[in-house]
Amino acid sequence: MKTEKSAKFFDRAMKVLVEGCSSASRGPLNYSPHPSYFKKGQGARLWDVDDNEFIDWQLSFGCLPLGHAHPKIVEVIREQVENGTHFATALEIEVEVAEMMVAMLGHVDKVRFANTGTEACMTAVRMARGITGKRKVLKFEGHYHGWYDGLLVSSNPQPVTTLGHPNDPVRIPDSSGLTPGSWEDTLVSVWNDIDALERILKIRGHEIACVMMEGAMSNMGVIPAKDGYLKQVQELCRKYDVLFYLDETVTGFRVAPGGAAELYGLQPDIVTYGKALGQGFPVAAIAGPDHIMESIEYGKVLHYGSHNAPRLGLYAVKAMLEEMTKDDNAGFRKITEIGEQMTTRLNAAARDAGQNMRVQNIGSMFHPVFTDLEEITGYRDFCASVDLGKYAAFAAGMREEGVFFTGNKILHNLSCTAHTQEDIDVSIAAATKVLHEMPK
Ligand code: PMP
């Protein structure tokens, strides 16, 4: 892999950009000794400034169900940019897209558009507090809901010895600069453990506005919910009169047309979407039934934003939804089949090479972790057993072979409709080579 030009960009970048880029997960922490600088994406391919070509399995952290520069997206954006970029007025396109989303999701009456998952999550929590008049929110260890102060607690992997008793996890702030007050009202529990949830709801349910969780733990590799767990969570929320808030920033418009709510048969009170929804544009949404969504009417619970409902982004959403749902949701089936195939074949390659790599997935989301456990069922398994350094070495080896696996050790990789059978075969051949060459 040629790196001369990227190295030069890195030197320039380090003079004017913190870490040489705009997010820690893109910088030297995950791409040592320096990141590659990219200039072009097409289909499932990316090109860097040294003209290296990669099969992209990172796909903007899940923002590109159709891959890069899909012809329909390019066409509609070219056409619409001529009519103006952003108006900050009510828009014809936002009505159309909201109608499409409500019809597709089935369990929501109304939608409110924002830009990023972080904003949507922040607003959802504010709504839950406003509606119930209760102060606390309950999140789970290892679940990430963006970088809003109030939710930046216990999202990162930590040494297990620091986590405390599962009945009362130690809350660990994820950043400097947070006041204890910002997360004082954020309680933390252990995910995928229904007894732990009932214990805390029994004692503190009267103080808790909402239980919030991802549809799958997807910021700690990919850890699916145990059979029936999400349904049981919903039942417990109803029993203890606490709102059930499902953060579908990752799973929405990905694991099924109706997201994790459809996959697991749920009726959450509040849902948030982002990532895949925008097909590469910053479009996020908060959604729910009428009696919940009316809380933001006329600023009762405040939700503002100059860039809300980004016009061009909404045209991309419309085109993406049309493409993904064509032929009875063939797009969703395709990304799921590719994710399943990658998972099965990577696991087989790891076994053949005698490596302790395990790949877990939910449809199109998959992630290799190096662990001696047969299965990772929770955050504490992940913290106790996963060798993040080995994943970093594997992903770096893959990139040397022209296959872009995310350098972010705790995130996941994804498929898009543009991946071909050849992309899969080439990626598996690369994995086989890298796994055989890696020390055991
Ligand atoms: N919720 C979840 C479940 C996420 O995975 C993320 C991003 N990784 C967010 C919220 C925040 O989204 P954004 O990066 O768009 O602010």
> Looking at ligand 1, which atom is closest to the CA of residue 284?
15
Which of ligand 1's atoms lies nearest the C-alpha of 214? 3
246 alpha carbon – ligand 1 mean position (Å) = 12
pLDDT of 394: 98
Mutation pick for ligand 1 pocket among 59, 137, 139, 250 (CB with most ligand atoms within 8 Å): 250
φ, ψ at 273 (rounded to 5°): -130, 160
Q: Kindly report, residue by residue over 171-213, the tens digit of the pLDDT.
A: 999 999 999 999 999 999 999 999 999 999 999 999 999 999 9
User: Would you say 296 and 269 are in contact if contact means Cβ atoms under 8 Å apart?
Assistant: no
* Atom of ligand 1 at shortest range from CA of 219: 5
Substitution candidate for ligand 1 out of 22, 119, 125, 249 with most atoms within 8 A of CB:
249
Q: What number is the average pLDDT over the span 342-348?
A: 98
d(CA 315, CA 312): 5
Q: Is the pLDDT of residue 355 over 90?
A: yes
**pLDDT, tens digit (0-9, with 9 covering 90-100), for 222-256:** 999 999 999 999 999 999 999 999 999 999 999 99
Query: Is the pLDDT reported for residue 440 higher than 90?
Result: no
281 neighbors 316 (Cβ within 8 angstroms): yes
Sheet of strand 45-48, all strands in order from the earlier edge strand to the far edge: 38-42, 45-48, 53-56, 403-404
Q: Is the pTM of this model over 0.95?
A: yes
Q: pLDDT tens, 266-276?
A: 999 999 999 99
Quote the pLDDT of residue 4. Answer: 98
In angstroms, rounded to a whole number, what is the distance separating the alpha carbons of residues 252 and 279? 12
Give the helix, strand, coil percentages of the chain, each rounded to 5: 45, 15, 40
> How remote is the CA of residue 418 from the centroid of ligand 1, in Å?
23
Under DSSP, is residue 187 helix (H, G, I), strand (E, B) or coil? strand
User: Is 419 a pocket residue for ligand 1 (Cβ < 6 Å)?
Assistant: no
Domains of the chain: 4-69+328-437 (3.90.1150.10), 71-321 (3.40.640.10)
Q: Give the atom of ligand 1 at the shortest distance from the alpha carbon of 115.
A: 15
Tell whether the model's pLDDT for residue 102 goes beyond 90: yes
145: Cβ below 6 Å to ligand 1? yes
Q: What is the mean pLDDT of residues 6-29?
A: 96
pLDDT tens-digit map of 139-148 = 999 999 999 9
Q: Which atom of ligand 1 is nearest to the CA of 274?
A: 15
CA–centroid distance, 144 to ligand 1, in Å, is 7
Helix axes of 421-437 and 388-400: crossing angle, nearest 10 degrees: 120
250 CA to centre of ligand 1 in angstroms? 7
